[in-house]
Amino acid sequence: MSTVSLPGPDASRDEVVAYLAGMQKQRLIGAGGFLSGMDQYALVTPIIRENVGFGAQDIDMDLTAGWPPVTLEVVSGRLDEKRLYFSLEDVLVKLLGISCGRRNGNTEILVKEALMGVEELGIEVELLRMLDLEIENCLFCKECKVVKGGLSACVIKDDAAFVYDKLMESDGVILGAPIYGLTPPGYLKAIADRIIGAQADPSLHQDRKKSGGIDPVTGEKLYYDERALKPRVGGYISDGGASTLNWTSFGLPLLHFPAFPPNIRIVDQIQVLKAQPMPHLGMVVILDKVIERARQLGRNVARQIGKPVEKIKWAGDPGGICPVCHCNLLTVTDKNPVECPVCGISGTLKIENGKISVDFSEEQISHARLTTQGILDHTVEVLNVMKEQESRAAEVPEKVKRYQSYLTPLKPPSKSKKNTATAND
């Protein structure tokens, strides 16, 4: 336990603000430090209420040494003469790194470098390596048990619930994936299907919270997770061995899909070229500018943690035709409008002096997939289609029979033997 003298027993609000900022600069408290002891100070990101004799107003601090301006409130506590007692036993801010690449390969190196940048700002980090985990493909059950009961209710027993919990515990995510044959590896899709699908949708959990976790129609108890309501920020790292964007064009856009349901706000992303896997594992370490850019991505993500959603800003490189995902893919027909296939927003394409731009209205931006409204739009869309087809739904069972009886899918010898043995038991 350490003690630090305050400016004085009658310290002004500004003096206390400067004092706390000085503690931050000296790394005596982290971005989400916990002050404890006889004064019971608790610094919580993003909001910490002041209760140190200056009233109920918030303290707006510009924490130096790299940490961004945030609003802090001291939740509870009092000044005891001239001393404040504190410890660093608890860190309340955490960022999760996820590597979808080889063990100690280029992707993992870049994710780790970004996490080092996060740590510079006093935030705790953890790393998940997808190759260390067993995540089975979704079976697409007729009625998903996960949506009602959480991942622990899933019929597949693997590491999916573990990954989900780590995501829910985090305040930010940095996801890295290599490009294999134009796209990220398949287990990135497994993350989207099994771990952060509808069960991570904050609007779903908000509705269930309002209803007390009870289905208003059936009275059935429904799972909801308070952690899903927490705003999160994130960053993406896509790396490939090609020297041109021609062979990496699907890298970053496909990384965005896991972020849609949990509403993770992406604030920076990088597409790394010339990250060769040969002749040595980890060849990316000789790309000095890339290594530094990965660390900067970590800092950029860390600086956005804890901010209200409306204050989270893009911190990455300028550019990107879409103002939401900052990717350059467009769906183009023979006339306007064009559409961002990642975010699902439409705009008007213009060419002026050989430069292409697209005007996306604020209305369109507010309905992008990576918004609560965008997710709600999709829910309404699905419900409308169901209603449209409801009158003919009774025809389906009979019509499906001809396909159920047509051909038997091939099975490899290993599964055929297993099935035969089971049948004879």
Question: What is the SS3 assignment for 108?
Answer: helix
The domains of the chain are located at: 1-91, 94-317, 318-390
Of 89-98, 165-174, 279-288, 414-423, the one with minimum mean pLDDT is 414-423
User: Tokens in use for 377?
Assistant: 């739009």
Closest CA to 238 of 178, 192, 315, 316: 178
Contact 237, 348 (CB under 8 A): no
pLDDT tens by residue, 28-49: 433 333 332 222 233 333 323 2
CA distance 245 to 323: 20
Question: What is the SS3 assignment for 249?
Answer: coil
pLDDT in the model for residue 299: 96
pLDDT in the model for residue 387: 94
Radius of gyration of the chain (CA): 25
pLDDT tens by residue, 310-355: 889 999 999 899 999 999 999 999 999 999 999 999 999 999 999 9
The mean pLDDT of 370-378, rounded to a whole number, is 83
On the question of pLDDT at 92 being above 80, the answer is no
Contact 202, 376 (CB under 8 A): no
Entry pTM: 0.75
Tell me the CATH number of domain 94-317, given options 3.20.20.70, 3.40.50.360, 3.30.160.270, 1.10.600.10. Answer: 3.40.50.360
Sequence-ordered alpha helix ranges (H) in 52-142: 106-120
